Amino acid sequence: MHVVINTDHNRLEIREGKKQLWLEPWGEDAFRVRMCIGAEMDANDWALSEKMPFVKLDVTEETVDTTDPWYATAEWEKYHQTGTVYTVKNGKITAKIGTEGWISYYKQNGDLLTAEYWRNRNRINRYAVPLRIEARELKPYPGSTDFELYARFEAFEDEKIFGMGQYQDGHLDKKGASLELAHRNSQASVPFFVSSRGYGFFWNNPAIGTATFATNKTEWYAKCTKKLDYYITAGDTPMEIEEHYSLATGRSPMMPEFGLGYWQCKLRYRNQQEILDVAREHKKRGLPMDAIVVDFFHWTMQGEFKFEPRDWPDPEGMVKELKDMGIETVVSVWPTIDERSENFGEMAEKGYLVDADRGCSYHMSWMGNTVFYDATNPGAQEFVWEKCKENYYKKGIRIFWLDEAEPEYGPYDFDNYRYFAGPALSCSNIYPAGYAKGFYDGLKKEGETEILSLVRCAWAGSQKYGVLTWSGDIYSSFRSMREQLKAGLGMSVAGIPWWTSDIGGFLGGNIQDPHFQELLLRWFAWGAFCPVFRMHGERSPWYEREQEFIDNVRQLTSGQDNEVWSFGEENYKILSKYLFLRERLRPYVRECMERAHTKGEPVMRPLYFDFPEDKNTLTIEDAYMFGPDLLVAPVMEEGVTVRSVYLPAGTIWKECSTGKVFDGGQTVTANAPLDVIPVFARDEKEFEIYK
């Protein structure tokens, strides 16, 4: 091993044969670590593209002699020979590099945060075993410049893992989980976590792979890549760690005002008249609404990005009328390009479509044979935006629903797809960020300052493009509702503060079924305390309509009604109650969004983030903080009218529905009739939630 202190580039370099590793300060209290095999480090910064405050490299060297008895008992710095140990400090985090290049990370007070996992026989400590397992492995594919990558770290029994994006596994704490690093419908891999040991870790690699938080080791794996690249930061609190990470990957813009209220959506408003009738009825009833969605298959054909004129004869007039009512129009865009569409030939010739390395190049065959456009290609991003600009933006539309953003391959054979940025195995996870970036850049170029896109997936850094993610086509059940709470918290911790789910679930949900109606009421109440409050759903069974065709293009039918008055009069009273509750919360939600914008705070977050001194909060997975002052405990089981809620220690809590006051540090029984979601205000703060 040869160590170089590279003052020109402000980094420590470890060289061994053709391997080179860089460890450098990356803003305050953080390091970025990269390793490659070859003459040059791969230049992709991926999500770590933000300009960071300069922190001068602070390295000390110490020559050690392992015959000293101290080294026979020290827990982590044990070496088999005399050599030089390097200590690199950056504020609240310290890296120590042993005589053979092993790295461990420490807090300011000297406590270990985490350490690389080595199992080589030449170590003299308890890990002196002949397994020959290294912490960092780049295994080359013969005859290529691509590698399989493994990065391994020690496991700790007391560690809790929060974040990693959106997974439908029903667990907030990811310790013990094996997570696929890949996007699927309802799954978004955003590989950043906050550890209860006081550090945050970001795997800056968009390759398909896995992350395993096992009891014997933590292991990151990338199937095809050029380098190892990760970011690690330390802080006194989880919020401080989030602040560091969000600075490194980018922060959300300020949420536009229309994002603070209620969004109306269904599968699907089939024409202009339907959408206007619903909006007019909302306003006639005096109900608040900030946005309404024109969903998929309003277009002439997939990949043509324009209204079908028979059903949408006057989009400009529709948008203007809605705007006059105080309602923004949101339009669905899909990245699927039908082989029959007017844009297919040009996009194929210019390399704007995702390629297949073998076999048929079609990616989806639903409602037409389609191929996804290549959102990693800047030219393709601009092409799609220009079409949407001409056919939507110029008609007054400013908000886009970017669906199918994983993208939703059928099947997910990642080894068969190839992007402008490289083989899908090496870069597929950046797709949703590129998809959003194309629209963000286009809107910004037109002078727009309040940019928001509803996107069905995200990767690290997506948030800086005004991305509002939702949790995909999830099922209508209480189990699914419980899973979405964990998914939303995981996404928020991973740096994506604008999040929502389909209220009531997307698949299924018969509006005449009392069991579904109860689910909808509970979900709607919870939705009022989510970052964005949005109704959506398929609502089975679909209407029985004959198949319709326009110019030989099949038209999609619709689901049942999905407005707040569609579920019976008694339910309407409860649903409308929460519409007005959200309006009263609007100033508070605005403050939460400001904190997300300026400091990177998650809008919804685990209790532990606000109360790290109370270790009981580490295991609470059925309640959360909505901003700094409201503890929300949704009812997520059928037939329940009371529920237990743990109130964190160190403050006093007021139950908003009853006015009762409780000391923190105890579990209480909360009032939860069908029209009440348990909410507690911190320090007895006054909120006009229930009137």
Is 331 in the same domain as 462? yes
Residue 689: the pLDDT is: 79
Given a contact cutoff of 8 angstroms between Cβ atoms, the answer to whether 315 and 395 are in contact is yes
Asked, for residue 199, whether it belongs to a domain, the answer is: no
Share of the chain above pLDDT 70, in %: 95
Give the pLDDT confidence of 35-52 residue by residue, as tens digits: 999 999 999 999 999 999
Q: How confident is the model at residue 128 (pLDDT cuts 50, 70, 90)?
A: low
Q: Where does a domain end: 537, 564, 597?
A: 597
- Asked whether residue 9 is domain-assigned, the answer is no
Which pair of structure tokens corresponds to residue 2?
A: 């040869």
Q: Would you call 384 helix, strand, or coil by DSSP?
A: helix
Q: Is residue 308 part of a domain?
A: yes
> What confidence score (pLDDT) does residue 66 get?
53
Any alpha helices (H) in 325-412, and if so which ranges?
Answer: 344-349, 378-391
- The CATH number of whichever domain residue 658 belongs to comes to 2.60.40.1180
Is residue 479 included in any domain, yes or no? yes
Could you tell me if 426 and 524 lie in one domain? yes
* Cα–Cα distances in angstroms (integers) from residue 660 to residues 253, 531, 641, in the given order: 37, 26, 17
- Determine the Cα–Cα distance for residues 424 and 430; give it in Å rounded to an integer: 10
- Domain boundary (597, 616, 642) is at 597
Instruction: Report the pLDDT value the prediction gives residue 129, as an integer from 0 to 100.
Output: 67
Sign of the alpha-carbon dihedral angle for 472, 474, 478, 479: negative
Average pLDDT score over residue span 390-415:
96
Report yes or no on 521 lying in a domain: yes
507 assigned to some structural domain: yes
Residues 508 and 423 in one domain: yes
pLDDT at 68 over 60: no
Q: Poorest-confidence range of 23-32, 406-415, 547-556? A: 547-556
Together in a domain, 627 and 675: yes
Whether residues 431 and 560 share a domain: the answer is: yes
Residue 207 belongs to a domain: no
- What's the token pair of residue 409? 């391959």
* Same-domain status, 435 and 584: yes
Same domain, 441 and 392: yes
**Is the same domain home to 494 and 636?**
no
For residue 386, the enclosing domain spans 257-597
Catalytic residue (choose from 173, 240, 304, 406): 406
Please tell me whether residues 546 and 674 are part of one structural domain.
no
Secondary structure in 3-state letters for 63-105: EECCCCCHHHHCCCCCCCCCEEEEEEEECCEEEEECCCCCEEE
pLDDT at 361: 83
| Pair (424, 541) in one structural domain | yes
Last residue of a domain, one of 572, 597, 622: 597
Q: How far is the CA of 97 from the CAs of 79, 101, 116, 631, in angstroms? A: 11, 5, 10, 43
Higher pLDDT, 343 or 689: 343
Asked if 29 is an active-site residue, the reply is no
* Per-residue pLDDT, 122: 52
Of 13, 311, 473, 563, which one is the catalytic site residue?
A: 473
Share of the chain above pLDDT 90, in %: 88
Query: Each residue of 490-533: pLDDT tens digit?
Result: 999 999 999 999 999 999 999 999 999 999 999 999 999 999 99
pLDDT of residue 77: 46
Q: Is 406 a catalytic residue?
A: yes
Whichever domain contains 404, its CATH number is: 3.20.20.80
Average pLDDT over residues 130-147: 93
Each residue of 668-681: b (16+ CB within 10 Å) or e?
A: bebebebbbbbbbb
Q: How many domains does the chain have?
A: 2
- pLDDT for res 123: 46
The answer to whether residues 575 and 623 belong to one domain is no
H or E segment and range at residue 247: helix 238-249
Domain match, 555 and 615 both? no
Q: Confirm whether 617 is domain-assigned.
A: yes
Q: Determine the pLDDT at residue 101.
A: 87
| Mean pLDDT, range 162-181, rounded to an integer | 98
Catalytic status, residue 403: yes
Choose the catalytic residue: 77, 146, 290, 403. Answer: 403
Has residue 78 got a pLDDT over 50? no
The predicted model gives 594-603 an average pLDDT of 98
